[in-house]
Copies of this chain bind each other. A is one copy, B any other.
Amino acid sequence: MPVISYREALNHAILEEMERDPDVFLMGEEVGHYQGAYKVSQGLLQRFSERRVVDTPIAEMGFAGVGVGAAMVGLRPIIEFMTFNFSLVAIDQIVNNAAKIYQMSGGQFHIPVVFRGPSGPAVQVASQHSQAFESFYCHVPGLKVVAPSTPYDAKGLLKAAIRDDNPVVFMESETLYNSTGEVPDEDYLIALGVGDIKRAGEQVTLVAWSKMIELCVEASEVLAADGIEAEIVDPRTLRPLDTEIIVNSVRKTGRCVIVEVGWPVCGFGAEIAYRVQRDCLDDLDAPVERVTSDDVPMPYAANLENEVLPQVKDVVAAVRKVLYLE
């Protein structure tokens, strides 16, 4: 199977869906002539022209709303946020319009729009550019939220998101764009709401998504060296959440550590922890642990950023804790 980057996988997903369906278009800052701030839309302008690859001024609220309006009358917009940090100036359009129109119109108008872009901290881009808002969007009924960790998942999930008739918040990771993996050439979809076991193991369940899967894989190797086999569960879609795949794993291992790159309080991991204790209380041999970034705005200095972000050693420590190894 061809090996391509996460960035290319996203690019191919958009390209294929735009070729498949003339109602699909891409809109955002620098997506066209600049080929994408992070080059995800490389070549698309040349392939589809300015009509379908639309460069916008800096007006997220405006063009996010344009996406909602266009979707209302039958188009299938892909709205790119240069990063999800900038989605906060547009969040009203996503929460109050995209997520609610289907319900408040009594089912007359559905909104097949995808809001996508990189989410989470990159490297030393400081407090206003280093945020992960999964839990904001997961809180809102009417939205679906996806956060792929591999090129294979990224392509199959983005294609499914574009074909979905509901608004989908598709959160990528800038720090994964260059990561590579096997991706088949042929057309395939990954159903939203279906998780995936990234590594099988018996002693502890690690739940993570997006960039944090890498961290868990590294940690699992360190743990394996000590004879501890961790199972890594990647929900891939955060809303709707594949609770079953998590619960089944925890029923087996009796221990659960949730790893997320964002802030601890009201992070999506809290929701997962709630569900795990709800459905597996009797199976739990230890409290559900969480590994998150520190509860602070992200500092700029590299050394401090490392202290704030979840590290392999933090995951290892959390696992040893739920195993009562210290």
Contacts and interface: CB of A to CB of B under 8 A. Distances in A.
Interface stretch (A67-75, A131-139, A203-211): A131-139
A296 B91 CA distance: 18
A278 B287 CA distance: 5
A287 B284 CA distance: 11
A307 interface: no
B127 A104 contact: yes
Contact of A296 (B89, B103, B131, B241): B103
Interface stretch (A110-118, A181-189, A259-267): A259-267
Number of copies: 2
Interface in A82-97: 85, 88-89, 91-92, 95-96
A99 to B, nearest CB: 7
A224 to B, nearest CB: 26
A287 to B, nearest CB: 4
A282 to B, nearest CB: 9
Interface string A122-155: 0000111001000110111110000000000000
Contact of A273 (B88, B277, B300): B277
A271 interface: yes
B267 A297 contact: no
A265 B141 CA distance: 8
Contacts of A89: 61, 92
A267 B265 CA distance: 11
A288 interface: yes
A268 B271 contact: no
A141 B266 contact: no
A140 B88 contact: no
A295 interface: yes
Contacts of A201: none
B88 A103 contact: no
A236 interface: no
Given A95-B88, A270-B266, A287-B281, A297 B127 contact: no
Contact of A299 (B103, B265, B290, B296): B103
A307 to B, nearest CB: 14
9 contacts: A89-B92, A103-B299, A104-B128, A104-B300, A140-B263, A141-B263, A241-B265, A274-B277, A277-B277
Interface of A: 61, 85, 88-89, 91-92, 95-96, 99-100, 103-104, 126-128, 131, 135-136, 138-142, 239, 241, 263, 265-271, 273-274, 277-279, 281, 284, 286-290, 295-297, 299-300
Shortest beta-carbon contacts, A-B, top 7: A273-B274, A277-B277, A88-B92, A139-B266, A103-B297, A270-B274, A270-B271
